[in-house]
Amino acid sequence: MYDLIIVGGGPAALTAGIYAARYKLSTVIFSKNIGGIAATSPKICNYPSYPAIGGFELMQKFTEHAKVLGVEIIYDEVKEILKKDKIFLIKTDNGTYEGRKVIYATGTKRERLDIPGEGKFQGRGVSYCSACDGPFFKNKIVAIVGGGDAALSSALLLTEYASKIYIINRGKDFKKGDPTWAEIVMKDGKIEKMFNEEVIEIVGSKIVEGIKLKSGKKLKLDGVFIEIGSVPETSLLKNLKVKLNERGFVIVDKFQKTNVHGLFSAGDVSNNVIKQVITSAGEGAVASYGAYVELKQEGK
């Protein structure tokens, strides 16, 4: 029986673990992979004290901090969350665990284009992580699909490897992205900007060889990086009748409480205003405090 079970492995989950340890709560973090989407970011330039740091490196620092404080981390995938009376049951392939409180911090998952060739060539030229797969495209031609921060930062990272980069945006500009990133991308001669355009098919034989565009154009290239955003990962909440907003994010109050007593949510999966490492970390801290207060009020 744990005081607190944290589901997720990104900045919200890890910070929640750090604060829970300082509150002397018996705590465990469940995550198949530590770091979440933040760990796949090629460069983070807005986390205080680090003018620029790789996402994976920053998440390693979060993890090390949690481990120093004795936070237990189990690298296992949660398959189901149930609640029996006042106790939460967390089921994985390796067993069932009990907790008095749960912080749900699963983050988001990458959106797909759902076009012909995307699934067929995933891992064979189609990628959702430039930081992970960029080095495989040294001196090759690639395309990035998207127009937000993820697409812009990925384009800049890929300039270190690829010989040419197309950034394909169905919008007319990069206004959805960070103005600083957009300015750098617009000035980079290695990046060809294609606005008001969409990819309708990814083609090739055994690996990616090109793409077809809505305008009728065809581009020969070696890789496609899809950076069109993310959706909240809430599938594990189906048994708990948790309230979600119109976009599918978990509704929480100022203490990160959901409508289910004892269940808190933090990070990108919750209905926060901005999806950043610093805000996710802050929400994780607040969620741990909320769980601590509830436990004390209940005499635990």
As a whole number, the mean pLDDT across the chain is 94
For residues 189 and 167, is the Cβ–Cβ distance under 8 A? no
Q: How far is the C-alpha of 222 from the C-alpha of 187, rounded, in Å? A: 23
Sign of the CA dihedral running 271, 272, 275, 280: negative
Q: Distance between CA 293 and CA 295 in Å, rounded?
A: 5
State pTM to two decimals. Answer: 0.80
What is the torsion angle, in degrees rounded to the nearest 10, for the CA atoms of residue 136, residue 141, residue 143 and residue 144? 50
Query: Across the strands, what pairs with 273?
Result: none
Residue 54 pLDDT class (50, 70, 90 cuts):
confident
Residue keyed to tokens 């604060």: 19
Report which DSSP code applies to 251: P
Given a cut of 90, whether residue 174 has pLDDT beyond it is yes
According to DSSP, residue 116 is labeled: T
pLDDT at res. 161: 96
Does the pLDDT of residue 131 top 80, yes or no? Answer: no
DSSP single-letter state for residue 50: B
Instruction: Provide the pLDDT confidence category of residue 133 given band limits of 50, 70 and 90.
Output: confident
Query: Residues 211, 219: contact at Cβ < 8 Å?
Result: yes
pLDDT in tens, 58-106: 999 999 999 999 999 999 999 999 999 999 999 999 999 999 999 999 9
Decide if 68 contacts 61 (C-beta within 8 A).
no
Q: What integer pLDDT is reported at residue 180 of this predicted model?
A: 92
Question: Average of pLDDT values for 210-236?
Answer: 95
The structure tokens 């119109």 sit at: 246
Identify the residue with better confidence: 12 or 111.
12
pLDDT value, residue 204: 96
Instruction: Give the sheet arrangement for strand 199-204, strand by strand.
Output: 199-204, 208-213, 218-220
Helices (H) and strands (E) in the chain, counts: 6, 17
As a whole number, mean pLDDT of residues 173-177 equals 89
Residue 132 has pLDDT above 80, yes or no: no
Positions of E strands within the chain:
2-7, 27-30, 72-74, 78-84, 87-92, 95-104, 108-110, 126-127, 141-145, 164-169, 191-195, 199-204, 208-213, 218-220, 223-226, 230-232, 263-265
Confidence of residue 206 (pLDDT cuts 50, 70, 90): very high
Give the rounded percent of residues in the chain with a pLDDT score beyond 90: 83
Domains and CATH numbers, the chain: 2-109+230-297 (3.50.50.60), 112-226 (3.50.50.60)
235 closest CA partner among 89, 80, 99, 38: 80
pLDDT for 275 beyond 90: no
Tokens for 23? 């509150």
Output the pLDDT for position 230: 84
Burial of 259 from C-beta contacts in 10 A (0-12 / 13-18 / 19+): middle
What is the Cα–Cα distance from 6 to 72, expressed in whole angstroms? 10
pLDDT on residue 283: 98
For residue 259, the model assigns a pLDDT of: 98
> What pLDDT score was predicted for residue 89?
98
Query: Has residue 42 got a pLDDT over 80?
Result: no
